[in-house]
Amino acid sequence: MTQAKITLHGTALSGHTHRVELLLRALGLDFDFVPAPADVRRSEAFRKLNPLGQIPVLQDGDLTLADSNAILVYLAKRYAPESDWLPHDPIAAAQVQRWLSIAAGEVMHGPAIARMIAQFKYEDDPVRAERVAARLLPFMEEHLTGRSFLATEHPTLADLACYSYVAHAPEGGIPLDAYPAVRAWLRRVEALPFFKPIPPSPIPVKS
């Protein structure tokens, strides 16, 4: 498959950007990484790429695409249509979509928001974030007990979409000690050959 120039706008500490970077690496696609910290995201030039002012944004030739999960779907369909990343089987595809929704829902409003509040002075309700995480993590623990990956027996977009903010939940004051199956799943994602971690957070995790 021929490849146009791919550019990923994001930041190194953004879990939304990280999930896209993981898939680009998994697919062996060359890309330029363009840092887009808060001041860049507020600029007129960036708002032309994404009027919502959010990262990540992917440019692939003439295409400009925002939203991490939309980008995952695009890359899998465009560059690896026969792979397991986004299965053809209707039930498996629906399971992947379910976890993409959970990534944009409970994972975002629980562990991701808790980390943004603790690490980046984001203004939101920490109690609500904790409550969402407290509902999500036992559910993930039960789901992953006896399973290797979230949607199928292979890693899929579901695992990439959910990994980053669950792995970094402790940086938001949400420990994972009570969730051994979740931690084992995180280690399985980290053992994938293309894996690259998010750098350490600005504020160390309290033990």
**Complex with ligand GSH: residue 105 or 138, whichever CB lies closer:** 105
Closest approach of Cβ 67 to ligand GSH, in Å?
Answer: 4
Which tokens sit at 15? 């879990």
Angle at which helices 90-102 and 68-79 cross, to 10°: 150
> Exposed, middle or buried: residue 188 (CB in 10 Å: 0-12, 13-18, 19+)?
middle
Nearest distance in Å: CB 71, ligand GSH: 7
CB nearer ligand GSH, residue 129 or residue 178: 129
Q: Is 192 helix (H, G, I), strand (E, B) or coil?
A: coil
Instruction: Give the shortest CB-119-to-ligand GSH separation in angstroms.
Output: 11
Q: How far apart are CA 184 and CA 14, in angstroms?
A: 23
Q: Which DSSP state fits 109? A: I
Q: Rounded to the nearest whole angstrom, what is the least distance from the CB of residue 54 to ligand GSH in the complex?
A: 3
Amino acid at 71: I
Q: Which residues bind ligand GSH (CB under 6 A)?
A: 14, 16, 41, 53-56, 67-69, 104
